[in-house]
Amino acid sequence: MTTVFIISAPSGSGKSTLVGHVRKTVPRLDFSISYTTRKPRGDEQNGKEYYFVSRPEFEGMIEQGAFLEYAAVFGKDYYGTAKRFLAAAEQQGHDLLLDIDVQGAEKIKLKLPDAVSIFILPPDRMELEKRLRHRSLDAEDVIQRRLFTAHGEIEKYEKYDYILVNDRLEDSVAALQAILIAERLKRSGIPSTAEDREVLAIAERYSLCNVRERVQPILASFAAPAVRGGC
């Protein structure tokens, strides 16, 4: 049985970095490559990070019913999850990882209620801004739009099953791996070994009920106006 894992995060939180790690280390995990009308960024390649298509091509796919879900992200470009990735994962007996935004996650949860959703958070607003700038791939107006959108996205964190604050990268990679493996263990129904119980315990630390207090100061850092130096 295929488990669909949904990963969402405000842009710049480190989601692609984390997904890149688990794609290499977790077996039997397929990645859904989304279609988008946005232009490639940096050294992104067609068919690797995304399928980059024109607006008419994307609209043609909508008409053909090719998408499991699609959305206009940042009110500008279309992004969509093609149905064919789920069909291929099911055929292979693999799980499927979707890197999609909050609106997309809501649509998938309605269609596939057993999907597991994971929300990645930055440690605070200043760190998110730093990461967006450090990545140096977006124009200033794009960075500002992403920071503005982040606040609204973070407020939806309660809709997710797991919340992961991406502070130290090694810890976050280990946590994400534990969540994926723990969900497989839960679904397999096989009695767990001591090692399995350890993985389940690590994953549980990131479940929604256990992170509420950790999330409050992060939310507050986005609600407050950004403090800038100088006069």
**78 touches ligand 5GP (CB under 6 A):** no
Nearer to ligand 5GP, 75 or 229 (CB): 75
List the one residue from 2, 3, 8, 13 that touches ligand ADP (CB under 6 A): 13
What sign for the dihedral angle of Cα 85, 91, 94, 95? positive
CB 124 within 8 A of CB 218: yes
Size of the site for ligand ADP (CB under 6 A): 14
Residue 71 binds which of ligand ADP, ligand 5GP, none (CB < 5-8 A, kind-dependent): ligand 5GP
Options 69-77, 156-164, 165-173, 177-185: segment touching ligand ADP (CB under 6 A):
165-173
Minimum CB distance to ligand ADP, residue 43 (Å): 12
List the one residue from 4, 22, 73, 121 that touches ligand 5GP (CB under 6 A): 73
Cα–Cα distance for residue pair 133/137, rounded to 1 Å: 8
**81 touches ligand 5GP (CB under 6 A):** yes
**17 touches ligand 5GP (CB under 6 A):** no
Task: Give the residue among 23, 21, 215 at the shortest CA–CA distance from 119.
Answer: 215
Task: Give the residue among 38, 68, 72, 70 at the shortest CA–CA distance from 53.
Answer: 38
Indicate the helix (H) or strand (E) that contains 78. Answer: strand 77-82
CB 192 within 8 A of CB 200: yes
Minimum CB distance to ligand ADP, residue 165 (Å): 9
The residues facing 156 across adjacent strands are none
**79 touches ligand 5GP (CB under 6 A):** yes
Cα–Cα distance for residue pair 203/35, rounded to 1 Å: 31
Site for ligand ADP in 168-197 (CB under 6 A): 169, 172
Nearer to ligand 5GP, 19 or 175 (CB): 19
CB 103 within 8 A of CB 11: no
List the one residue from 22, 100, 173, 179 that touches ligand 5GP (CB under 6 A): 100
Cα–Cα distance for residue pair 2/100, rounded to 1 Å: 18
The residues binding ligand ADP (CB under 6 A) are 9, 11-17, 131, 134-135, 166, 169, 172
